[in-house]
Amino acid sequence: MEKKSFNLPSFIISHAAKIEKLFFVLCIISLIMMPMVKVNYDLTEYLPDNVPSKEGLNLMEEEFGYPGTARVMVDDVSLYEAKRIKDAIADIDGVDMVLWCDSSTDIFQSSDFIDYDEIKDYYRDGSAVMDITFVDGDTDKSTADAIDEISELIGEKGHMVGMAVQNKSLEENVARELNMIMVIAVIMIYIILTISTTAWAEPVLFLTVMGVAIVLNKGTNLLLGEVSFLTDNVVAVLQLAVSMDYSIFLLHAYTGYKAKGMEMREALTAAVDEAFKSIIASSMTTIVGFIVLTFMRFSIGFDLGLSLTKGIIFSLATVLFLMPALIIRMSSWLEKSEHASFMPSFDKLSRGIYKLRVPILIAAAITAIPLYTAQGMNSFLFGNASVGAGEGTKVYEDDLKISEKFGRSNMMLAIIPNTSNVTEKELSKELKDLPYMKSVTSLTDELPEGIPEDFLPESVTGLMHTEDYARLLMYTRTKEESPTAFDAADEIESVIRKYYPEDSYLVGGTPSTMDIKNTIVEDYDLVNVLSLIGVFVVVMLSFESLATPVVVMIPIELAIWTNMAVPYLMGEEVNYIGYIIVSCIQLGATVDYSILTTSNYSDARKKLGLNKREAAIYTLKKSIPAILTSGSILTICGYILYFVSSISAIGSLGHLIGRGAWMSVLLVLGMLPPLLVFIDPLLEKNEYKRVREFMATLRERRKRRRSERERRKKGNECKDA
């Protein structure tokens, strides 16, 4: 008896109820796991371990801990009131030290004897500003509790900034904003799908399938240990936007087979079989665009790339396995809720676009080099300071107020060998003489003359000295990230190395930002090349052509250059993390528009026998509805991130994604059909097939030569015998 071969589509349809129950259980498990996923807001955590600032941070955390920092300004206070507030803050659990002018000036003496110019960095015009370091890190619960107590103490007259305050604000806002983003995205996507589909129930089906995929992806992030704030906020929205096409394709295939007279389960089996090949082939370019992020040395790329790739895989799984079961369950509702299509024929638009093909291609050719040049001339931001609270938040407004009155205050720490108090004191003195230095705090400065360190309790000395290392706390009058801050950090490090050539480190926001910059700039070239090669190979294998992937990628690359050139032309600074990530996301997510257009053109020429002009117009008419639907969803999701998120890095990333999506739509529809007409002879010749045949011929010749040599060798052996 002949054994029946296994057929996956038939298996999926026949076991639809069991598959539905399995996904329900997996969803419940993922929903339980989701709140347990730890979110990280500190970019320095993603630095390679071998860069100097990360080595220094690891050493400091091992020897002293990694203190959180904040800056507090209190308005309408006298020196005496400020002193009382300063002492009250210092007594709060979780606060390590509070730096204010009372450490160098006796504020209780008569005001006639106080030089207000000397204390203007800490008190002016009735306002006092204090620099605070905490016992634990920026994201520790004890630090968050201390911030709450400080906020209650200073009341409405107080303003607070710093990484600890920023992180606390982000953690409090991120869940609320993410929920708002998802609600708005679902509503907008439902409207788009209602316009582009032919049944009121179809958008509900699509959003249900994608919702399950998103829950599975977010829940399984627990297996990664922790995820970055970018991953936690961006991946769900991008997964929803990028993967929606898969479910639309499966349903359209199903309705097409139903229209041919097939019974429901038979039509579903045929649709799943067709979808397996088409959806997986389509998703490969997206996966390649995302997976290359995992090769970044700055490992936030690994975190984001892995989660995005995982999201696409879960979306494929839910579409191919769960969606057929849901179609069976909702079949009567889908049929009863059918309505006429709201989409026009796009015939006039298609012919109009084709008529403008020459001006479009000329404009693209003229602007390509200037746009490529401009996108490489952007002003970038790299560090933690560039990813924090955006305009409209209290932290942002407080930062403006404090900086306007007192200027900037940037904390850095020197970690040096604990070998000589004399050398440490000389280092401290030279650092204090630097023109941009506000203060330097070291244990040797605090020790009274002639008093040995052993006389002080360990609770005091342990903050600045351990058995092997000492640390100095410094505040400079610079931003955390700026050319001036970078120059200051280089000079400070050179001074430290003069006294301690070995085993000394400079740590803090500025040194970490410098290392982030050096690391991530190298990453850009790597991921850009890998994504281009990966997508080229996938498209080449799909179309069996060497010329096609080149043409397919031209409009997308031009759209990426245009998108990235806009900030330079507008005089805006760009977060480099967003810049490098969006390049891969835009390529991976929108190259499908080019692939779809190319497939439609190929069908028009080979299957329908249309001439080149009519094939191009047919291609536009058939491609515009799908590309507009997909592009509109990605555009709207990007702009929702931009307008809703108070986190500047996420808002900036959303802006780039949204703008890049509609630019890709316009350039693919405007440029690709005439480009396909131009390379039409190559498409007809199928040069890839000829190359394969040529290579096969070479292999066959080598095989015959090898066989001939072996035959001769055996003949010679027989003669010798």
d(CA 192, CA 209): 17
pLDDT at 559: 94
d(CA 383, CA 257): 54
Q: Compute the Cα dihedral for 583, 584, 590, 596 and give only its sign.
A: positive
pLDDT digits (tens, 9 = 90+) for 620-669: 999 999 899 989 999 999 999 888 887 777 888 889 999 999 999 999 99
d(CA 558, CA 567): 15
Separation in Å, CA 268 to CA 20, 244, 324, 472: 15, 19, 7, 70
d(CA 345, CA 339): 16
Nearest-CA neighbor of 409 among 101, 125, 71?
Answer: 71
User: What's at 73, amino acid-wise?
Assistant: M
Contact 439, 475 (CB under 8 A): yes
Contact 407, 122 (CB under 8 A): no
pLDDT at 2: 47
Spell out the residues 6+ positions from residue 438 whose beta carbon is closer than 8 angstroms to its own. 121, 409, 475, 476, 477
How would DSSP label each residue in 118-155?
A: TTTTTEETTEEEEEEEESS-TT-HHHHHHHHHHHHHHG
pLDDT at 664: 93
Spell out the residues 6+ positions from residue 600 whose beta carbon is closer than 8 angstroms to its own. 618, 619, 622, 623
3-state secondary structure of 304: helix
Please tell me the CATH code under which domain 1-36+197-342 is placed: 1.20.1640.10
45-167: CATH, from 3.30.60, 3.30.70, 3.30.420, 1.10.1740:
3.30.70
Per-residue three-class SS string for 231-289: HHHHHHHHHHHHHHHHHHHHHHHHHHHHHCCCCHHHHHHHHHHHHHHHHHHHHHHHHHH
Contact 73, 156 (CB under 8 A): no
d(CA 367, CA 384): 35
pLDDT at 64: 80
Tokens coding 704: 């015959």
pLDDT at 41: 78
Tokens coding 668: 């693919």
pLDDT digits (tens, 9 = 90+) for 336-376: 888 887 888 889 999 999 999 999 999 999 999 999 999 88
Residue showing tokens 């536009």: 620
d(CA 513, CA 53): 9
How would DSSP label each residue in 55-87?
A: HHHHHHHHHT----EEEEEE-S--HHHHHHHHH
Per-residue three-class SS string for 7-23: CHHHHHHHCHHHHHHHH
Domains in the chain: boundaries: 1-36+197-342, 45-167, 686-720
H or E segment and range at residue 575: strand 573-575
pLDDT at 455: 53
Which is it for strands 226-228 and 38-40: parallel, antiparallel or unpaired? Answer: parallel
Nearest-CA neighbor of 464 among 157, 74, 67, 107?
Answer: 67
pLDDT digits (tens, 9 = 90+) for 40-90: 877 778 888 888 888 888 888 888 877 788 889 999 888 888 889 988 998
Question: Splitting the chain (721 residues) into consecutive groups of 10 residues, what average pLDDT does each group show?
Answer: 66 90 95 89 80 87 81 88 89 86 69 72 86 82 89 88 81 79 90 88 92 94 86 85 86 85 88 83 83 86 89 92 92 85 87 92 94 87 68 78 84 89 89 90 71 55 79 88 90 93 89 86 82 86 81 92 91 80 82 88 87 92 90 92 83 89 94 90 63 68 75 64 54
Which is it for strands 573-575 and 379-381: parallel, antiparallel or unpaired? Answer: parallel
d(CA 287, CA 139): 33
pLDDT at 427: 92
Tokens coding 660: 């890049």
Nearest-CA neighbor of 165 among 381, 388, 387?
Answer: 388
Residue showing tokens 């759209």: 559
Nearest-CA neighbor of 413 among 485, 505, 490?
Answer: 505
Contact 139, 166 (CB under 8 A): no
pTM: 0.81
Nearest-CA neighbor of 411 among 435, 430, 437, 434?
Answer: 437
pLDDT at 721: 54
Residue showing tokens 């993967």: 243
Nearest-CA neighbor of 126 among 82, 77, 74, 160?
Answer: 77
Q: Which residues pair with 415 in a beta bridge?
A: 471, 505
Tokens coding 83: 């002193």
H or E segment and range at residue 388: none
pLDDT at 220: 93
Spell out the residues 6+ positions from residue 233 whose beta carbon is closer than 8 angstroms to its own. 174, 177, 178, 181, 641, 645, 647, 650
Contact 94, 145 (CB under 8 A): yes
Tokens coding 23: 């996904």
